[in-house]
């Protein structure tokens, strides 16, 4: 193959099955790329190079006998350091865990391996644009800017060609904001679509319905490849529902009703971001969708609801109540927050009876320098759809005057992950999607 590094995971899988390239060649190419770019990016927390090469050789031998393990046969993948692996340290940015190796894989990792994927390594999570174990990760389009938090290393490494596809997690925007900053594609699945078993911090549907594990890649095709692999109940996460996943390729764009908005009370994007959303809207109109400007109800309340959620006390033990700190909220504040959260969800469901999808910015502007970031400002557009649990895809739609990627969010009705992927694919196809960073070499 001419360019292994920037070929999609789906195309790599096809090439390996057709024996146009070996799995070992693919893994070797990505290891060389990591060696070249990671000193600048600092995206990799733990590299499993030797084990990946050994597994690639095994899978090449399996293929030589005429057998295919699964849809990812021989394709390497990487994993955010909050998702546990039984053969690599999972520090999750916490110094006390810097040597901790989990006893078992997270469910999603088990499923990726069972599909023939080859675990290549763990990637750094930036929390408040730093990592207390590995240091800060950097943006491949401008090393002085944030790659977004907290699936930071995944987004940066995939954008730079060090990994074809990976897994991250998103509570308030931690898949979507890094994808926006680094110009790649991602999907926050519907709440309850993908099991959270093996995620750290420990999260389930009783603790936080906002958090989801999802794929990151340079193309929407690869998101669609990975989603059915990782989706579905695992018998351990009670919050995962057995909802069938529709075929994204069968979605008819003509006649889809799409509501678009670019600002609300707390959110004022820059001109380039507004233009990117308008261009994406035109791409959907060109495909036959009916697009109109309409602001969903109550999304300006999402910040206050999230503040209350963040203020709640949790137990750091799964078996006994061991509060992490003293309560700072009154019972009345907690109950009012939960009431407002439920009201937001109900009103959004009613709004979505009129629309199949929403289109809006992923962030108010392109990736910032860490010292210029104010609080939760980058997440003002992502927080509402964490609270509603809807599936959300992010895809690159434009480039800022500084040469930085600008992503847009494409939000579908609950459980219509297929529709979110389909409209994101249309925007990607029309506007070009991922573009190589200037990072040398």
What CA–CA distance (Å, rounded) separates 79 from 215?
9
Catalytic site positions: 80, 150, 174
Are the CB atoms for 165 and 216 separated by under 8 Å? yes
303 token code pair: 């910040």
User: Strand pairing of 76-80 and 165-170?
Assistant: parallel
The closest alpha carbon to 389, from 252, 243, 257, belongs to: 243
Instruction: Please give the helix or strand (H or E) that residue 396 lies within, else none.
Output: strand 392-399
Number of other CB atoms surrounding residue 354 within 10 Å: 10
At 104 the three-state DSSP class reads coil
User: Strand pairing of 405-412 and 185-188?
Assistant: unpaired
The closest alpha carbon to 59, from 21, 10, 7, 2, belongs to: 21
Question: CA distances (Å), 300 to each of 97, 115, 392, in order?
Answer: 37, 41, 18
58 token code pair: 């095994």
Complete DSSP assignment for 257-304: EEEE---BTTB---HHHHHHHHHHHHHHHHTT-EEEE-PPTTGGGHHH
Chain center to CA of 311:
25
What CA–CA distance (Å, rounded) separates 356 from 1?
40
At 417 the three-state DSSP class reads helix
Are the CB atoms for 120 and 76 separated by under 8 Å? yes
Helix, strand, coil shares, percent, the chain, to 5: 35, 15, 50
What CA–CA distance (Å, rounded) separates 204 from 100?
22
């Amino acid at each position: 193959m001419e360019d292994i590094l920037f070929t999609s995971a789906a195309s790599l899988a096809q090439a390996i099955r057709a024996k146009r390239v070996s799995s070992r060649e693919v893994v070797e190419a990505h290891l060389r790329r990591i060696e070249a770019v990671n000193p600048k990016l600092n995206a990799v927390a733990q590299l499993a190079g030797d084990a990946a090469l050994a597994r690639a050789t095994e899978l090449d031998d399996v293929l030589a006998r005429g057998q295919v393990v699964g849809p990812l046969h021989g394709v390497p993948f990487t994993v955010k350091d909050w998702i546990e692996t039984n053969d690599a340290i999972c520090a999750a940015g916490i110094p006390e865990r810097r040597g901790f190796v989990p006893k078992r894989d997270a469910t999603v990792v088990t499923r990726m391996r069972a599909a023939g994927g080859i675990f290549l390594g763990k990637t750094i999570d930036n929390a408040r644009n730093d990592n207390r174990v590995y240091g800060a990760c950097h943006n491949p389009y401008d090393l002085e800017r944030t790659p977004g938090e907290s699936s930071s290393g995944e987004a940066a490494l995939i954008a730079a060609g060090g990994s074809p596809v990976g897994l991250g997690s998103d509570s308030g925007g931690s898949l979507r904001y890094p994808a926006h900053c680094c110009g790649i594609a991602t999907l926050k699945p519907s709440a309850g679509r993908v099991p959270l078993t093996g995620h750290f911090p420990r999260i389930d549907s009783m603790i936080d319905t906002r958090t989801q594990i999802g794929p990151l890649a340079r193309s929407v095709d690869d998101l669609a490849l990975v989603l059915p692999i990782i989706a579905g109940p695992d018998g351990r996460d009670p919050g995962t529902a057995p909802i069938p996943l529709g075929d994204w390729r069968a979605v008819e764009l003509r006649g889809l009703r799409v509501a678009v908005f670019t600002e609300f009370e707390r959110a004022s994007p820059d001109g380039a971001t507004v233009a990117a959303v308008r261009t994406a809207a035109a791409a959907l109109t060109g495909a036959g969708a009916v697009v109109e400007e309409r602001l969903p109800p109550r999304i300006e309340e999402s910040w206050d609801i999230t503040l209350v959620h963040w203020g709640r006390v949790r137990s750091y033990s799964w078996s006994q109540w061991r509060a992490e700190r003293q309560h700072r909220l009154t019972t009345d504040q907690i109950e009012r927050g939960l009431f407002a959260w439920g009201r937001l969800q109900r009103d959004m469901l009613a709004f979505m009876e009129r629309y199949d999808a929403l289109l809006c910015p992923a962030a108010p502007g392109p990736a910032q320098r860490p010292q210029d970031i104010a609080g939760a400002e980058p997440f003002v557009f992502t927080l509402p759809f964490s609270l509603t649990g809807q599936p959300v895809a992010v895809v690159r739609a434009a480039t800022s005057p500084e040469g930085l990627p600008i992503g847009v969010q494409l939000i579908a009705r609950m459980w219509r992950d297929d529709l979110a992927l389909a409209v994101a694919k249309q925007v990607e196809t029309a506007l070009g999607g991922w573009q190589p960073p200037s990072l040398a070499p």
